[in-house]
Amino acid sequence: MKHASNRSRRSPTSSSTIVPNGIFTSRKVTAQAQEYNQCGGIGWTGPTVCVSPFTCVVLNDYFSQCILVTSSATPPSTIPITTTPTTVIPPVTVPPTSSIPATTTSTGATPTGTQIRADQDPVYHFYLQENAGQLMLGPESSSGYFTISGGTITLNNSNGTNLFINVQESASTSYKPLTLDTTATTTDWGLEGDTIITTAPRQLNFLTCSSATTEGYWDVYLQEGSDVPSGQTCTNYITLHLPCLC
């Protein structure tokens, strides 16, 4: 007896076997996950058996994977990730740029020595210095620096040259002009504390007069009496000092 209709019907997930009495029997065929595919995890509805020789390994609660497990190897704890090789770009050598030296303005080294200044009005804290070849009192920013030694006072210039302060004793007035010269003719300069004096004879008074040529500067004279120039703004009996010996 023929059963043609039953012979042609199969389920995709099952196979049929004919037994000797002519009756068909069926056995269920389970789909299998391919190598390195998912095979389990929370919410997974696909196959849970891997193709041979792969084993379904639980990696976390949400993912199991078909992995080839050998007796001498421990299943990997991470999912194999395929990465695209990156192209290594060789470093670019940038030619050094030529540097332009910075331009600096040299003001010269500060000369050695001490400053000398007045401590009385109207020239309070005006400083002794050279201005246009003459010895004057002026602002601290342009102060001269001096060495007092061996009876002489030397103005030390930033270029390394020195000039001596001399008193023009030949003047007929009691106020004697002070000059700057390359040689010393006045050799009796001295100090009393921080006060500038001459010792032969002892004098410590100076006369200052507002400069007729340079605003803000004062001409300086050694005063040996009480004379003052006519027609000028002058102050008598000024003393000169080192800034501080304290």
pLDDT tens-place string over residues 125-140: 999 999 988 999 999 9
110 lies in a domain?
no
Same domain, 213 and 153: yes
pLDDT tier, 244 (very low <50, low <70, confident <90, very high otherwise): confident
Q: 221, 131, 241, 117: which is closest to 169 by C-alpha?
A: 221
- For residue 165, the Cα-to-chain-centroid distance in whole angstroms is 45
In the chain, how long is the greatest CA-to-CA distance? 167
pLDDT tens-digit map of 194-228: 999 999 989 999 999 999 999 999 999 999 999 99
pLDDT tens-digit map of 141-189: 999 999 999 999 999 998 888 999 999 999 999 999 999 999 999 999 9
Same domain, 124 and 198: yes
Same domain, 61 and 141: no
Question: According to the model, what pLDDT value does residue 192 have?
Answer: 92
Same domain, 125 and 221: yes
User: Which residue range forms the structural domain that includes residue 29?
Assistant: 18-77
Report the mean per-residue pLDDT for the chain. 80
Final residue in a domain of this structure, among 53, 77, 101: 77
Exposure pattern of 108-141 as b/e (b: 16+ CB <10 Å)?
Answer: eeebebbbbbbebeebeebbbbebeebbbbbeee
Residue 29 has pLDDT above 90, yes or no: no
Final residue in a domain of this structure, among 62, 77, 92: 77
* Mean pLDDT, range 21-30, rounded to an integer: 52
82 lies in a domain?
no
pLDDT above 90 as % of the chain: 59
pTM assigned to the model: 0.55
196: Cβ–Cβ under 8 A, 6 or more apart, which residues?
116, 148, 153, 189, 204, 239, 240, 241, 242
Question: According to the model, what pLDDT value does residue 13 have?
Answer: 44
Same domain, 160 and 223: yes
Same domain, 72 and 178: no
Taking residue 164's Cβ as centre, other Cβ atoms within 10 Å add up to 18
The count of structural domains within the chain is: 2
227 lies in a domain?
yes
Residue 120 has pLDDT above 90, yes or no: yes
66 vs 41: CA distance, rounded Å: 12
Question: According to the model, what pLDDT value does residue 62 have?
Answer: 87
pLDDT tens-digit map of 54-110: 999 999 888 999 998 875 545 545 455 444 555 555 555 555 544 444 444 445 567
Same domain, 127 and 235: yes
Same domain, 143 and 57: no
Residue 55 in tokens:
């084993």
